[in-house]
Chain A
Amino acid sequence: MNHPWNDLLRQVQGYIYPNEIEIHWGMLVVVYPYLTGLVAGAFILASLVEVFNVREVHAVYRLSLLTALAFLLIAPLPLLLHLGRPERSYEIFLTPNLSSAMAMFGFIYAWYLMVVLLLEIWFTYRKDLITWARAERFPMRWVHRALALFSNDLSERALRFDRKAVKVITVIGIPSAFLLHGYVGFIFGSIKANPWWSSVLIPIVFLFSAIVSGIALVLLLYMLITPRRGEKIDMACLDKIASFLFYAVLVDFSLELLDFIHRLYESEESIKILSDLVMNKLFISLVVIQVLLGMIVPLGVMVSIKLFHFNEELRKLLYFLSAILIQVGIFATRWNVVVGGQMFSKSFRGLTTYKMEMTGVEGLFVSLALLIAPFVVLAFLLWILPPWEKKLAVVFSSGSQAVEPRGDIPA
């Protein structure tokens, strides 16, 4: 009787079905929607520039795209690691069950990666790749030439086509980003067996929380990277991003409030156990972290920024702190959905506990590594596809050809 779950048995409150002692979707499945949310959110921010012509946030356009790509590349890893038989994962592509939301993962992921992100990044960077390659020496010259797929056409017609292509892809990309994360929400929202998940609002809540987290991430990255490059943070850009962030949080908050009120008002069979769940198991992660620290405090801070004219330094500090709180809050949201949804019994008569491991595939360290990995990928992408003008000028100062300034980079 020294199975580790015997301890868990003693911590069960009320009655649970015997097979429910194991929390099947643990930390890794929390990380997965968090990462894809960041992808979708960062892309939506980038599309503001291209489609809605929000000039102020041009400075972070390329950064947003690369962030989306870096996180998208890592996003399937937690899913893969969490499988009982990861060596069979290819079956999801070979023999997909068309009635399964999860089977659509491969197709939506491939679509988003290949058709949307890679294409948009390629068309965005094509001109620069050619220009850089012309000014560089081996090996970077060849890297950039290969990345440009050996295209060499810098004529006005070709550049016009690039710009048009980017616009078209972004227009396709917005519903695709919605699809990417809305579908993750659908995976949970379509499970009628689980009243905590089963809601038509879940995909929409997921979507808006994704937009919130993506914008907050790009804001953090912009604030961290810019001073390190010896540049001044563009306050117009920062204020604009923060403003979008504010409205996104507001919508997200309203949607979650609606979900909460709707559940409470309908008071279905499950309401008692769900109240127990929130008050006993999720009080800290939901009420305190997700709602209070992750939403109400940042909203309050951003309202006060809008009301009172704080100076730049204070605004930067407040934006930074709010964005961090929002990130933590969104991670808590994912946790509360995924793990929270498994901590009550489908008999509605009891609660169980999730005991996170430290080591092991499903453990804390692997999850932390998966959360750090996208930043490593991003650093690499930023190095190979620098989105900034200034750095280029330094890099290419020894080159024979001057790099012409790009219009979308703020002074």
Chain B
Amino acid sequence: MKRRLFISRLLGIVLGLLGPLSGRLRGSPAGNAATPKRFGMGIQIDKCIGCGRCVDACKEENAVPQEPFYFRTWIERYSVKADGDTIVQNIDERITPPREVEVDRDVLRSFFVPKLCNQCENPPCVQVCPVGATFATPEGIVLVDDKRCIGCRYCIQACPYGARYLHPVKKTADKCTFCYHRVTKGMLPACVEVCPTQARVFGDLSSTASPLTRFRRMNKTAVLKPHLNTEPRVYYSDLDGEVR
């Protein structure tokens, strides 16, 4: 009787130890990095010259429809006037032909703001997707599985930043992926790569040596619509209070 009790207890202890251990064993060879990468982007507004190369590169790289209603990234031009009025324009040539860009002598300050998906830490789009087609990768990048998306467009409604559109051919939601196909191979997103003034900085938030961490160390940054508690991972420096 005693022996049987001993054996059964021993078995229990061994099994109890094996459970958590097996998980650790399974985890160790696959997880080649101790902490997973968490990608983000920094945007230095004062460096943006509004050339629009990032928009073109994005459309080219990701086969974004050329019509001026679909953008994964776009640039806004803000003109804050002396009377307090602020004029915002999308300077893409497909929307606003260059000669129609308003020129006003009464402008106090003017600047460009590149916009894109904020890859939120608390993404409302992921929360509302009824079928789980929109999801966050381990790196924190929010993607759309176009094989699963049913095209209900709830995520488009839930995005506070207007970063999503319905792909006119696929009829599924589409958005910025931080060029996931490039960054997972160690390359930069297309928009970052082509920016002639390095207004866009891309990197790993969890690495102390990444350009993004340096950017955040050297600049006072802010995110868009912080009151919505989406916790964006696109950080702006020199962000004007007029920008929404």
Which residue numbers of A lie inside 8 Å of B, CB to CB?
A: 3, 5, 9, 14-22, 24-25, 79, 82-86, 88-89, 91-92, 95-97, 99-103, 105, 187, 190-194, 342, 345-349
Contacts and interface: CB of A to CB of B under 8 A. Distances in A.
B162 A84 contact: no
A349 B69 contact: no
A97 B95 CA distance: 37
6 contacts: A19-B70, A22-B166, A84-B152, A91-B131, A91-B150, A346-B244
Contact of B130 (A17, A21, A82, A100): A100
A346 B153 contact: no
Contacts of B160: 192-193, 346
Contact of B162 (A19, A95, A100): A19
B36 interface: no
Contact of B159 (A22, A79, A193): A193
A102 B159 CA distance: 15
A107 to B, nearest CB: 11
A9 B163 CA distance: 18
Contacts of B67: 3, 5
A192 B68 contact: no
Given A24-B153, A100-B130, A15 B88 contact: yes
Given A92-B130, A346-B161, A348-B244, A85 B124 contact: no
B150 A100 contact: no
B152 A102 contact: yes
Interface string B154-167: 10111111111110
Nearest to A101: B128
A19 B69 contact: yes
B131 to A, nearest CB: 4
B165 A9 contact: no
A99 B151 contact: no
A18 B175 CA distance: 13
Contacts of A190: 128
B157 A349 contact: no
Instruction: Give the secondary structure class of A's interface.
Output: loop
Given A9-B95, A91-B148, 9 more contacts: A5-B69, A18-B95, A24-B153, A84-B171, A88-B150, A89-B150, A100-B128, A193-B159, A349-B88
A25 B152 CA distance: 9
Contact of A22 (B115, B152, B165): B165
Nearest to B163: A19
A342 B162 CA distance: 11
B235 interface: no
A130 to B, nearest CB: 42
Interface of B: 67-71, 74, 76, 86-90, 92, 95, 115, 124, 126-132, 148-154, 156-166, 170-172, 228, 244
A91 B148 CA distance: 8
Contacts of B244: 346-349
B132 A95 contact: yes
A84 B150 contact: yes
A86 B95 CA distance: 32
B130 A19 contact: no
Nearest to A24: B153
Contact of A24 (B68, B163, B166, B228): B166
A148 to B, nearest CB: 37
Contacts of B166: 22, 24, 84
Given A22-B165, A84-B152, A15 B130 contact: no
A192 B124 contact: yes
A342 B157 CA distance: 8
Given A85-B149, A102-B128, A18 B159 contact: no
Nearest to B156: A24
Q: Which 10 A-B pairs have the closest CB atoms?
A: A84-B151, A17-B162, A84-B171, A193-B160, A15-B88, A103-B130, A102-B130, A97-B132, A19-B165, A24-B153
A193 B149 CA distance: 21
A193 B158 contact: yes
A106 B150 CA distance: 14
A21 B158 contact: no
A84 B115 CA distance: 26
A193 B124 contact: yes
Nearest to B78: A15
